[in-house]
Structure 1
């Protein structure tokens, strides 16, 4: 459930896309959501207080909220208009792709989200397919563009992947086939691999 005045909702392939408008000065007290979601501010401005930081959001600000992340919002000036997509299909992507909050101020992720918003308001037989493709592209682009955070404890499957790459360096491996061996989603594999190695799987080979 999202606050504000809901303008439109569409459900596409395990993702729920919605648009909401908020009044100037509207305050939404501390809360969280059961499913992860990504939002882009279309119009207006707001301030968001999270556990670790306070964000000042202007148009084209993209934010990803993992499930359960607590935050509070206050809309400024003339209020705001937010477009978002919620990830409901947890078996395929939800917890696997992106697990920590992030923010982009413009850039390629915001451009893709703006394209998705335009498609959201376009009604034809192809728009569901186009929207699902854009959602997946946004998630993949975000995973790639988040600065890698090296260090920490590597997951057990990463060593298995490294061994597979060493033993099959000359084989026609694909990210999907490697992910199947590791038992994780391909996008999650790519993100974690970059975090611990500072490069893509292809560059590592």
Structure 2
């Protein structure tokens, strides 16, 4: 039996760095060992064992593998499956991620089939991959985080565009015509972080780009990215990338 499913197991050495790149197809990734940080869609996220995440097609992302390396089971989602999820409010283009032991149980079965090669292997692999996608969608809907309201997306975009400015919650709320308390609550519910955490994340990402692209002094980068001081930049950067800005620059 022929199957359109693409499935492979990838192993990454400790502290490896994957430069920003894109994929031509939307894929799912199950972390089965180790950990890594990923920079995607203006987010820096830490992924560990049990995470099942989506990498949308044509979406730039970069990764920094953890101190113990990483092992990932990667498989594609057919266009039919993607359309099915989109119709039900599951936004794959937002690169969602969930963590569950249930994913690992199915992943173990999928790994077992990866070692098989018989007349039914392709059918078994495709069935298990679809079962993982369905479980992901069910878990996602249970969180209540499907499609964010347009006004909330506008708020997120505004924060992103003005990340170097010290804008207040009240100012952002006035821009989208919603109460500050309501904005703060919905932002955390949909994006899994506070507005302050998101602002800090965007600034750190901007600092990372400047560190790779040029030779600006760290104090200048700190001011350009909206940090109060060089020390403030260093603390936030190390929390996000597990290294200082100077160590990060040395890698590039």
Using the size of structure 1 for normalisation, the TM-score is 0.60
Q: 1:151 to 1:70 in 2, by over 3 A?
A: closer
Question: How far has the Cα of 1:113 moved from its partner?
Answer: 2.5
Which residue matches 1:111? 105
Which residue matches 2:73? 83
Partners of 1:49 and 1:12 lie apart in 2 by 35
Q: 1:48 aligns with which of 38, 44, 62?
A: 38
Q: Which runs of 4+ in 1 moved over 6 A?
A: none
Q: Which has the higher helix share?
A: 2
Which residue matches 2:20? 30
Question: How far has the Cα of 1:118 moved from its partner?
Answer: 2.0
RMSD in angstroms over aligned alpha carbons?
2.3
Based on CA coordinates, which of the two structures has the bigger radius of gyration?
2
Partners of 1:151 and 1:26 lie apart in 2 by 34
Equivalenced residues, count: 141
Unaligned runs of 5+ in 1: 1-10, 154-205
Question: How far has the Cα of 1:120 moved from its partner?
Answer: 1.2
Which residue matches 2:81? 93
Q: Which has the higher strand share?
A: 1
Partners of 1:105 and 1:71 lie apart in 2 by 20
Unaligned runs of 5+ in 2: 151-252
Q: 1:84 to 1:124 in 2, by over 3 A?
A: same
Question: How far has the Cα of 1:86 moved from its partner?
Answer: 1.7
Contact 1:60 1:110 in 2 (8 A): yes
Q: 1:75 to 1:151 in 2, by over 3 A?
A: closer
Which residue matches 1:135? 129
Q: What secondary structure does 1:47 align onto?
A: strand
Question: How far has the Cα of 1:108 moved from its partner?
Answer: 2.2
